[in-house]
Homo-oligomer: A and B are copies of this chain.
Amino acid sequence: MSKPAPLSGFPEWLPRQRIVEQHVLDVLREVFELHGFASVETRAVEPLDQLLRKGETDKEVYVLRRLQASEDTTDDLTAGSLGLHFDLTVPLARYVLEHAGHLDFPFRRYQIQRAWRGERPQEGRYREFTQADVDVIGRDELSFHHEVEVAQVMAEVFARLPLPPVRMQVSSRRLIEGYYRGIGVGADGTDDDIAEVMRAVDKLDKLGPDSVRRLLVDECGLTPDQARACLALTEVTADGDDLAKKVAGLGVSHPLLDEGVDELCRVLQGTAALRSEEFSVVAELRIARGLDYYTGTVYETRMAGFEHLGSICSGGRYDALASDGRSTYPGVGISLGVTRALAPLLARGLLTASRSTPACVLVALPDEASRASVDVVAGELRRRGIATETSPAAAKYGKQIRYAERRGIPFVWFPQVDGGHQVRDIRSGEQVDAHPAAWVPPADDLHPTVSRGAP
Protein backbone atom coordinates (compact mmCIF):
# COMPACT_ATOMS: atom_id res chain seq x y z
CA MET A 1 0.00 0.00 0.00
CA SER A 2 1.38 3.41 -0.93
CA LYS A 3 1.27 6.43 1.34
CA PRO A 4 -2.37 7.44 1.84
CA ALA A 5 -3.32 11.06 1.13
CA PRO A 6 -5.18 13.15 3.69
CA LEU A 7 -8.91 13.72 3.11
CA SER A 8 -9.77 17.38 2.71
CA GLY A 9 -12.14 18.57 5.46
CA PHE A 10 -11.32 15.72 7.85
CA PRO A 11 -8.51 17.09 10.02
CA GLU A 12 -6.35 14.72 12.08
CA TRP A 13 -3.67 15.52 14.62
CA LEU A 14 -0.24 14.19 15.32
CA PRO A 15 0.27 13.06 18.94
CA ARG A 16 1.84 16.37 19.99
CA GLN A 17 -1.06 18.33 18.48
CA ARG A 18 -3.58 15.95 20.01
CA ILE A 19 -2.13 16.79 23.44
CA VAL A 20 -3.09 20.42 22.78
CA GLU A 21 -6.61 19.37 21.84
CA GLN A 22 -6.85 17.13 24.92
CA HIS A 23 -5.82 20.08 27.09
CA VAL A 24 -8.56 22.24 25.59
CA LEU A 25 -11.15 19.49 26.03
CA ASP A 26 -9.99 18.93 29.63
CA VAL A 27 -10.41 22.62 30.45
CA LEU A 28 -13.88 22.61 28.89
CA ARG A 29 -14.92 19.56 30.88
CA GLU A 30 -13.46 20.88 34.11
CA VAL A 31 -15.16 24.25 33.87
CA PHE A 32 -18.49 22.75 32.80
CA GLU A 33 -18.43 20.23 35.64
CA LEU A 34 -17.35 22.82 38.23
CA HIS A 35 -20.55 24.63 37.29
CA GLY A 36 -22.63 21.49 37.77
CA PHE A 37 -23.23 20.59 34.14
CA ALA A 38 -23.58 16.86 33.50
CA SER A 39 -22.00 15.18 30.49
CA VAL A 40 -24.27 13.76 27.83
CA GLU A 41 -23.31 12.07 24.60
CA THR A 42 -25.87 11.29 21.97
CA ARG A 43 -25.63 8.76 19.15
CA ALA A 44 -24.00 10.08 15.98
CA VAL A 45 -27.13 9.54 13.88
CA GLU A 46 -30.62 11.01 13.84
CA PRO A 47 -33.61 10.23 11.65
CA LEU A 48 -33.32 12.25 8.49
CA ASP A 49 -36.66 13.97 8.98
CA GLN A 50 -35.42 15.37 12.29
CA LEU A 51 -32.21 16.62 10.73
CA LEU A 52 -34.09 18.37 7.97
CA ARG A 53 -36.73 20.06 10.13
CA LYS A 54 -35.05 23.43 10.03
CA GLY A 55 -34.94 23.19 6.26
CA GLU A 56 -31.67 25.00 5.69
CA THR A 57 -29.10 22.26 6.03
CA ASP A 58 -30.35 19.57 3.68
CA LYS A 59 -27.37 19.89 1.37
CA GLU A 60 -24.94 19.34 4.19
CA VAL A 61 -26.25 16.15 5.76
CA TYR A 62 -24.39 12.87 5.32
CA VAL A 63 -26.88 10.03 4.88
CA LEU A 64 -25.96 6.49 5.92
CA ARG A 65 -26.53 3.38 3.88
CA ARG A 66 -25.49 -0.15 4.70
CA LEU A 67 -23.18 -1.29 1.94
CA GLN A 68 -25.19 -4.38 1.08
CA ALA A 69 -28.52 -3.00 2.16
CA SER A 70 -30.40 -4.19 -0.90
CA GLU A 71 -29.84 -7.81 0.06
CA ASP A 72 -31.54 -7.33 3.41
CA THR A 73 -34.93 -5.81 2.91
CA THR A 74 -36.10 -6.57 6.44
CA ASP A 75 -33.79 -3.90 7.78
CA ASP A 76 -35.60 -0.68 8.59
CA LEU A 77 -32.37 1.29 8.57
CA THR A 78 -31.59 0.58 4.94
CA ALA A 79 -33.80 3.17 3.34
CA GLY A 80 -31.40 6.05 3.86
CA SER A 81 -33.48 7.26 6.78
CA LEU A 82 -30.54 8.03 9.08
CA GLY A 83 -28.04 10.84 8.80
CA LEU A 84 -25.04 11.98 10.81
CA HIS A 85 -25.86 14.90 13.10
CA PHE A 86 -24.55 18.27 11.88
CA ASP A 87 -24.67 19.95 15.28
CA LEU A 88 -25.40 19.00 18.90
CA THR A 89 -28.62 21.00 19.26
CA VAL A 90 -30.92 18.85 17.13
CA PRO A 91 -29.76 15.74 19.06
CA LEU A 92 -30.26 17.58 22.37
CA ALA A 93 -33.84 18.47 21.47
CA ARG A 94 -34.55 14.83 20.61
CA TYR A 95 -32.73 13.56 23.72
CA VAL A 96 -34.74 15.88 25.98
CA LEU A 97 -38.06 14.75 24.49
CA GLU A 98 -37.08 11.06 24.53
CA HIS A 99 -35.77 11.03 28.10
CA ALA A 100 -37.79 13.88 29.68
CA GLY A 101 -39.32 11.49 32.22
CA HIS A 102 -35.85 10.63 33.53
CA LEU A 103 -34.30 14.11 33.55
CA ASP A 104 -34.43 16.79 36.23
CA PHE A 105 -35.28 20.31 35.05
CA PRO A 106 -33.71 22.76 34.68
CA PHE A 107 -31.52 20.22 32.93
CA ARG A 108 -27.89 21.28 32.89
CA ARG A 109 -25.87 19.37 30.33
CA TYR A 110 -22.67 19.72 28.38
CA GLN A 111 -21.82 17.72 25.30
CA ILE A 112 -18.45 17.44 23.60
CA GLN A 113 -18.72 15.46 20.42
CA ARG A 114 -18.00 15.32 16.75
CA ALA A 115 -20.46 16.44 14.11
CA TRP A 116 -20.41 16.16 10.34
CA ARG A 117 -21.40 18.41 7.45
CA GLY A 118 -20.88 17.69 3.78
CA GLU A 119 -19.73 21.25 3.13
CA ARG A 120 -16.99 22.46 0.88
CA PRO A 121 -13.99 22.54 3.22
CA GLN A 122 -12.02 25.69 3.97
CA GLU A 123 -10.09 26.98 6.96
CA GLY A 124 -12.52 27.07 9.87
CA ARG A 125 -15.08 24.91 8.10
CA TYR A 126 -14.66 21.14 8.15
CA ARG A 127 -16.61 18.06 7.18
CA GLU A 128 -15.86 16.45 10.54
CA PHE A 129 -15.40 18.66 13.59
CA THR A 130 -15.70 18.70 17.36
CA GLN A 131 -18.16 20.94 19.16
CA ALA A 132 -18.42 21.66 22.87
CA ASP A 133 -21.94 22.71 23.86
CA VAL A 134 -23.27 23.79 27.22
CA ASP A 135 -27.02 24.34 27.69
CA VAL A 136 -29.59 24.82 30.41
CA ILE A 137 -33.01 23.47 29.45
CA GLY A 138 -36.14 24.27 31.41
CA ARG A 139 -39.56 22.65 31.33
CA ASP A 140 -42.17 25.28 30.39
CA GLU A 141 -40.08 28.02 32.03
CA LEU A 142 -36.48 29.09 32.33
CA SER A 143 -35.25 32.07 34.34
CA PHE A 144 -33.31 34.83 32.64
CA HIS A 145 -30.28 34.47 34.92
CA HIS A 146 -29.23 31.34 33.02
CA GLU A 147 -28.52 33.65 30.06
CA VAL A 148 -25.92 35.32 32.27
CA GLU A 149 -24.71 31.97 33.56
CA VAL A 150 -23.78 30.34 30.25
CA ALA A 151 -21.85 33.47 29.26
CA GLN A 152 -19.98 33.27 32.58
CA VAL A 153 -19.17 29.61 32.00
CA MET A 154 -17.73 30.21 28.54
CA ALA A 155 -15.92 33.31 29.81
CA GLU A 156 -14.25 31.12 32.42
CA VAL A 157 -13.25 28.65 29.70
CA PHE A 158 -11.66 31.42 27.64
CA ALA A 159 -9.91 32.87 30.68
CA ARG A 160 -8.18 29.49 31.11
CA LEU A 161 -7.28 28.70 27.50
CA PRO A 162 -4.04 29.89 25.89
CA LEU A 163 -5.80 31.23 22.80
CA PRO A 164 -5.11 34.48 20.99
CA PRO A 165 -7.15 37.38 22.43
CA VAL A 166 -10.84 36.56 22.30
CA ARG A 167 -13.80 38.94 22.14
CA MET A 168 -17.25 37.71 23.14
CA GLN A 169 -19.98 39.78 21.52
CA VAL A 170 -23.40 39.77 23.12
CA SER A 171 -26.68 41.17 21.98
CA SER A 172 -30.34 40.70 22.73
CA ARG A 173 -33.17 39.75 20.44
CA ARG A 174 -35.60 41.27 22.94
CA LEU A 175 -33.73 44.56 22.89
CA ILE A 176 -33.69 44.60 19.10
CA GLU A 177 -37.32 43.57 18.81
CA GLY A 178 -38.33 46.21 21.38
CA TYR A 179 -36.40 48.82 19.40
CA TYR A 180 -38.01 47.79 16.12
CA ARG A 181 -41.45 47.92 17.71
CA GLY A 182 -40.55 51.30 19.14
CA ILE A 183 -39.94 52.65 15.62
CA GLY A 184 -43.18 51.12 14.36
CA VAL A 185 -42.00 47.87 12.74
CA GLY A 186 -44.38 44.96 13.37
CA ALA A 187 -47.17 47.36 14.23
CA ASP A 188 -49.67 44.96 12.67
CA GLY A 189 -49.06 42.62 15.59
CA THR A 190 -47.27 39.81 13.72
CA ASP A 191 -43.70 38.77 14.38
CA ASP A 192 -42.98 38.13 10.71
CA ASP A 193 -41.98 41.71 9.94
CA ILE A 194 -39.63 41.77 12.90
CA ALA A 195 -37.95 38.53 11.82
CA GLU A 196 -37.65 39.74 8.23
CA VAL A 197 -35.95 42.97 9.32
CA MET A 198 -33.58 41.05 11.60
CA ARG A 199 -32.58 38.76 8.77
CA ALA A 200 -31.91 41.75 6.53
CA VAL A 201 -29.82 43.52 9.17
CA ASP A 202 -27.93 40.27 9.83
CA LYS A 203 -26.54 40.62 6.27
CA LEU A 204 -24.71 43.82 7.22
CA ASP A 205 -21.27 42.17 7.27
CA LYS A 206 -21.85 40.60 3.90
CA LEU A 207 -23.63 43.40 2.01
CA GLY A 208 -22.67 46.64 3.74
CA PRO A 209 -24.98 49.36 5.11
CA ASP A 210 -26.16 50.83 1.79
CA SER A 211 -27.42 47.52 0.44
CA VAL A 212 -29.05 46.65 3.74
CA ARG A 213 -30.78 50.03 3.82
CA ARG A 214 -32.16 49.36 0.33
CA LEU A 215 -33.26 45.87 1.41
CA LEU A 216 -35.06 47.30 4.41
CA VAL A 217 -36.95 49.81 2.31
CA ASP A 218 -37.54 47.78 -0.87
CA GLU A 219 -38.10 44.31 0.54
CA CYS A 220 -39.23 44.87 4.13
CA GLY A 221 -41.36 47.95 3.38
CA LEU A 222 -39.73 50.22 5.95
CA THR A 223 -39.68 54.00 5.56
CA PRO A 224 -36.25 55.56 4.98
CA ASP A 225 -36.37 56.93 8.54
CA GLN A 226 -37.12 53.48 9.95
CA ALA A 227 -34.31 51.97 7.90
CA ARG A 228 -31.92 54.65 9.14
CA ALA A 229 -32.99 53.96 12.71
CA CYS A 230 -32.37 50.22 12.25
CA LEU A 231 -28.85 50.88 11.02
CA ALA A 232 -28.20 53.34 13.84
CA LEU A 233 -28.88 50.57 16.36
CA THR A 234 -26.25 48.34 14.73
CA GLU A 235 -23.58 50.93 15.54
CA VAL A 236 -24.10 50.67 19.30
CA THR A 237 -21.35 48.95 21.22
CA ALA A 238 -20.76 49.11 24.98
CA ASP A 239 -19.08 47.01 27.60
CA GLY A 240 -20.96 48.17 30.70
CA ASP A 241 -23.84 50.24 31.96
CA ASP A 242 -23.09 52.89 29.33
CA LEU A 243 -25.16 50.61 27.09
CA ALA A 244 -28.38 52.04 28.53
CA LYS A 245 -27.30 55.61 27.87
CA LYS A 246 -26.19 54.88 24.32
CA VAL A 247 -29.45 53.15 23.43
CA ALA A 248 -31.46 55.92 25.10
CA GLY A 249 -29.56 58.40 22.91
CA LEU A 250 -31.26 56.91 19.84
CA GLY A 251 -34.56 58.34 21.10
CA VAL A 252 -36.67 55.19 20.76
CA SER A 253 -38.81 53.87 23.59
CA HIS A 254 -40.72 50.68 24.13
CA PRO A 255 -41.21 48.53 27.28
CA LEU A 256 -39.57 45.51 25.59
CA LEU A 257 -36.57 47.66 24.65
CA ASP A 258 -36.12 48.66 28.31
CA GLU A 259 -36.29 45.02 29.40
CA GLY A 260 -33.78 44.01 26.73
CA VAL A 261 -31.35 46.76 27.73
CA ASP A 262 -31.65 45.78 31.39
CA GLU A 263 -30.99 42.11 30.61
CA LEU A 264 -28.02 42.79 28.37
CA CYS A 265 -26.51 45.02 31.10
CA ARG A 266 -26.82 42.07 33.49
CA VAL A 267 -24.90 39.85 31.05
CA LEU A 268 -22.15 42.48 30.87
CA GLN A 269 -22.05 42.87 34.67
CA GLY A 270 -22.02 39.09 35.19
CA THR A 271 -18.91 38.67 33.04
CA ALA A 272 -17.06 41.83 34.17
CA ALA A 273 -14.89 40.05 36.73
CA LEU A 274 -13.62 37.54 34.14
CA ARG A 275 -12.33 40.04 31.60
CA SER A 276 -8.68 40.72 30.91
CA GLU A 277 -6.48 42.07 28.14
CA GLU A 278 -6.88 38.69 26.48
CA PHE A 279 -10.62 38.30 26.93
CA SER A 280 -13.29 40.95 26.49
CA VAL A 281 -17.08 40.92 26.51
CA VAL A 282 -18.83 43.63 24.52
CA ALA A 283 -22.45 44.34 23.70
CA GLU A 284 -22.56 44.80 19.93
CA LEU A 285 -26.08 45.41 18.73
CA ARG A 286 -25.18 44.59 15.14
CA ILE A 287 -25.14 40.95 16.27
CA ALA A 288 -28.62 39.55 15.73
CA ARG A 289 -27.96 35.97 14.60
CA GLY A 290 -30.32 35.35 11.75
CA LEU A 291 -31.61 32.05 13.09
CA ASP A 292 -35.30 32.40 13.86
CA TYR A 293 -35.34 30.33 17.03
CA TYR A 294 -33.36 32.73 19.22
CA THR A 295 -35.55 34.84 21.48
CA GLY A 296 -33.29 36.50 24.07
CA THR A 297 -29.58 37.00 24.60
CA VAL A 298 -27.38 35.93 21.68
CA TYR A 299 -23.64 35.32 21.74
CA GLU A 300 -20.86 35.31 19.17
CA THR A 301 -17.10 35.19 19.69
CA ARG A 302 -14.16 36.25 17.58
CA MET A 303 -10.47 35.48 17.91
CA ALA A 304 -8.00 38.29 17.20
CA GLY A 305 -6.12 37.69 13.96
CA PHE A 306 -8.60 34.97 13.02
CA GLU A 307 -11.66 37.06 12.24
CA HIS A 308 -11.93 35.23 8.90
CA LEU A 309 -13.05 32.14 10.80
CA GLY A 310 -16.26 33.91 11.78
CA SER A 311 -17.64 33.20 15.22
CA ILE A 312 -15.86 30.40 17.07
CA CYS A 313 -18.36 30.28 19.92
CA SER A 314 -22.01 31.11 19.43
CA GLY A 315 -25.42 30.56 20.88
CA GLY A 316 -28.37 32.15 22.53
CA ARG A 317 -31.67 31.87 24.30
CA TYR A 318 -34.46 29.95 22.59
CA ASP A 319 -37.97 29.77 23.99
CA ALA A 320 -38.77 26.46 22.37
CA LEU A 321 -35.93 23.97 21.93
CA ALA A 322 -38.58 21.28 21.67
CA SER A 323 -42.18 20.60 22.52
CA ASP A 324 -44.06 17.37 23.04
CA GLY A 325 -47.60 18.69 23.22
CA ARG A 326 -47.72 18.66 27.00
CA SER A 327 -44.58 20.69 27.70
CA THR A 328 -42.40 23.16 25.90
CA TYR A 329 -38.68 23.18 26.65
CA PRO A 330 -37.01 26.59 26.58
CA GLY A 331 -33.25 26.75 26.78
CA VAL A 332 -30.11 28.76 26.53
CA GLY A 333 -26.78 27.48 25.31
CA ILE A 334 -23.40 28.28 23.83
CA SER A 335 -21.34 26.09 21.53
CA LEU A 336 -17.60 26.31 21.11
CA GLY A 337 -16.31 25.17 17.73
CA VAL A 338 -13.29 23.26 19.03
CA THR A 339 -11.98 22.25 15.62
CA ARG A 340 -12.83 25.59 14.06
CA ALA A 341 -10.80 27.44 16.71
CA LEU A 342 -7.93 24.97 17.10
CA ALA A 343 -7.21 23.70 13.61
CA PRO A 344 -5.86 27.04 12.31
CA LEU A 345 -3.75 27.51 15.48
CA LEU A 346 -2.33 23.98 15.29
CA ALA A 347 -1.63 24.30 11.57
CA ARG A 348 0.39 27.48 12.23
CA GLY A 349 2.19 26.06 15.27
CA LEU A 350 0.65 28.79 17.45
CA LEU A 351 -0.38 26.34 20.15
CA THR A 352 2.09 23.64 21.05
CA ALA A 353 2.64 20.94 23.63
CA SER A 354 5.92 20.52 25.48
CA ARG A 355 6.25 16.90 24.34
CA SER A 356 4.63 14.31 22.09
CA THR A 357 3.93 11.72 24.79
CA PRO A 358 2.43 11.75 28.28
CA ALA A 359 5.60 10.03 29.55
CA CYS A 360 7.62 12.08 32.04
CA VAL A 361 10.30 9.44 32.67
CA LEU A 362 12.10 6.85 30.57
CA VAL A 363 13.63 4.09 32.67
CA ALA A 364 16.83 3.04 30.93
CA LEU A 365 17.59 -0.64 30.47
CA PRO A 366 21.18 -1.71 31.37
CA ASP A 367 20.69 -5.12 29.74
CA GLU A 368 17.78 -7.28 28.60
CA ALA A 369 18.04 -9.45 31.73
CA SER A 370 17.20 -6.41 33.88
CA ARG A 371 13.77 -5.87 32.31
CA ALA A 372 11.87 -7.31 35.29
CA SER A 373 13.65 -5.09 37.82
CA VAL A 374 13.30 -2.06 35.55
CA ASP A 375 9.56 -2.78 35.33
CA VAL A 376 9.41 -2.63 39.13
CA VAL A 377 10.96 0.85 39.13
CA ALA A 378 8.51 2.00 36.44
CA GLY A 379 5.60 0.55 38.44
CA GLU A 380 6.64 2.45 41.57
CA LEU A 381 6.78 5.73 39.67
CA ARG A 382 3.42 5.09 38.01
CA ARG A 383 1.81 4.24 41.33
CA ARG A 384 2.58 7.79 42.36
CA GLY A 385 1.08 9.21 39.18
CA ILE A 386 4.28 9.71 37.20
CA ALA A 387 3.83 8.57 33.60
CA THR A 388 6.73 6.27 32.84
CA GLU A 389 8.01 4.24 29.92
CA THR A 390 10.69 1.62 30.04
CA SER A 391 13.29 1.62 27.33
CA PRO A 392 12.31 -0.59 24.39
CA ALA A 393 15.80 -2.08 24.08
CA ALA A 394 19.05 -2.41 26.04
CA ALA A 395 20.95 -0.20 23.60
CA LYS A 396 23.86 2.03 24.56
CA TYR A 397 22.77 4.68 27.03
CA GLY A 398 23.42 7.42 24.49
CA LYS A 399 20.89 5.82 22.17
CA GLN A 400 18.37 5.41 24.99
CA ILE A 401 18.75 9.08 25.88
CA ARG A 402 18.15 10.04 22.27
CA TYR A 403 14.96 7.93 22.35
CA ALA A 404 13.73 10.17 25.20
CA GLU A 405 14.97 13.34 23.50
CA ARG A 406 13.09 12.69 20.28
CA ARG A 407 9.80 12.41 22.20
CA GLY A 408 10.51 15.26 24.63
CA ILE A 409 10.54 12.93 27.66
CA PRO A 410 12.37 15.17 30.16
CA PHE A 411 13.87 12.56 32.55
CA VAL A 412 15.87 9.36 32.07
CA TRP A 413 16.16 7.05 35.05
CA PHE A 414 19.33 4.97 35.49
CA PRO A 415 19.38 1.91 37.76
CA GLN A 416 22.88 1.70 39.26
CA VAL A 417 25.05 -1.38 39.56
CA ASP A 418 25.04 -1.04 43.36
CA GLY A 419 21.22 -1.21 43.48
CA GLY A 420 20.82 2.56 43.80
CA HIS A 421 19.21 4.89 41.28
CA GLN A 422 19.99 8.12 39.50
CA VAL A 423 17.76 10.34 37.40
CA ARG A 424 18.94 12.77 34.75
CA ASP A 425 17.18 15.85 33.47
CA ILE A 426 18.25 15.45 29.85
CA ARG A 427 17.68 19.14 29.11
CA SER A 428 20.21 20.36 31.68
CA GLY A 429 22.24 17.15 31.90
CA GLU A 430 21.97 17.33 35.69
CA GLN A 431 21.97 13.81 37.18
CA VAL A 432 21.12 13.14 40.84
CA ASP A 433 20.56 10.23 43.21
CA ALA A 434 16.88 9.34 43.50
CA HIS A 435 14.58 6.71 44.91
CA PRO A 436 11.65 5.35 42.88
CA ALA A 437 9.35 5.53 45.92
CA ALA A 438 10.17 9.16 46.69
CA TRP A 439 11.42 11.15 43.69
CA VAL A 440 8.99 13.67 42.22
CA PRO A 441 9.49 15.67 39.03
CA PRO A 442 8.97 19.45 39.02
CA ALA A 443 5.21 20.15 38.78
CA ASP A 444 5.59 21.64 35.30
CA ASP A 445 7.16 18.44 33.99
CA LEU A 446 4.66 15.95 35.42
CA HIS A 447 2.31 16.32 32.46
CA PRO A 448 2.89 17.85 29.02
CA THR A 449 2.20 21.58 29.12
CA VAL A 450 0.52 23.59 26.42
CA SER A 451 1.60 27.06 25.47
CA ARG A 452 1.38 29.64 22.73
CA GLY A 453 4.11 29.84 20.16
CA ALA A 454 6.53 27.43 18.61
CA PRO A 455 7.64 24.27 20.48
Contacts and interface: CB of A to CB of B under 8 A. Distances in A.
Given A18-B41, A44-B114, A99-B14, A382 B59 contact: no
Contacts of A61: 66-67
A34 interface: yes
A128 B14 contact: no
A38 B356 contact: yes
B22 A39 contact: yes
Interface string A38-54: 11111111011010000
Copies in the complex: 2
A18 to B, nearest CB: 5
A437 interface: no
Contacts of A22: 39
Contact of A38 (B83, B120, B358): B358
A371 to B, nearest CB: 6
A98 B109 CA distance: 37
Given A36-B359, A94-B4, A41 B13 contact: yes
Interface stretch (A173-181, A237-245, A318-326): A318-326
Contacts of A72: 59
Interface in A32-89: 33-45, 47-48, 50, 58-69, 71-72, 75, 77, 80, 82-84
A109 B15 CA distance: 8
A389 B107 CA distance: 12
Contacts of A120: 75
Given A33-B358, A389-B108, A392-B106, A15 B3 contact: no
A80 B38 CA distance: 37
B1 A128 contact: no
A22 B324 CA distance: 30
A6 interface: yes
